[in-house]
Amino acid sequence: MEVELNVETLVDILISRSPNFSQSKKEIFDHYYSFLKNDYVDEQINCGHDLTNIIACVFRQKEISLETNMDTKKIETALRLAYQKDFFKNTKLYKNTISIFTNEKVETVQT
């Protein structure tokens, strides 16, 4: 299944819903086309910082949030405070890499 997106229509809708829009439509498309030229791998486009930036943008909306003075640093801090070490210890990433890091620490200490 392939999803198609009319980017021009999307930009028009976003601009119409953004009362404080300060850039031109041309600037938006210039950014868009510069990203396309980079030929990013889809799996690498979305990282944690991208996600926190999106969350911060959402929280800055007056219609959505009482705390509009929001930035990515505040979001990242809140997420770090909410995520406990035990959560990470139950992930596949931790279970698959703990022996590597444990061995490195032992080797470093012995040297």
Query: What pLDDT shows up at residue 73?
Result: 92
Query: What pLDDT shows up at residue 46?
Result: 62
Query: How many domains, the chain?
Result: 1
97 belongs to a structural domain: no
The predicted-structure confidence for 10-49, as pLDDT tens digits, reads as follows 888 888 888 787 878 898 888 888 878 877 666 565 667 7
Interval 75-96 mean pLDDT? 85
Looking at the whole model, is its pTM more than 0.85? no
Do 42 and 53 touch, CB atoms closer than 8 A? no
71 belongs to a structural domain: no
> What mean pLDDT, rounded, does the chain reach?
78
- Determine whether 51 is exposed, middle or buried from the number of CB atoms within 10 Å of its CB (0-12, 13-18, 19+): middle
19 belongs to a structural domain: yes
Domain that holds residue 2: 1-39
23 belongs to a structural domain: yes
28 belongs to a structural domain: yes
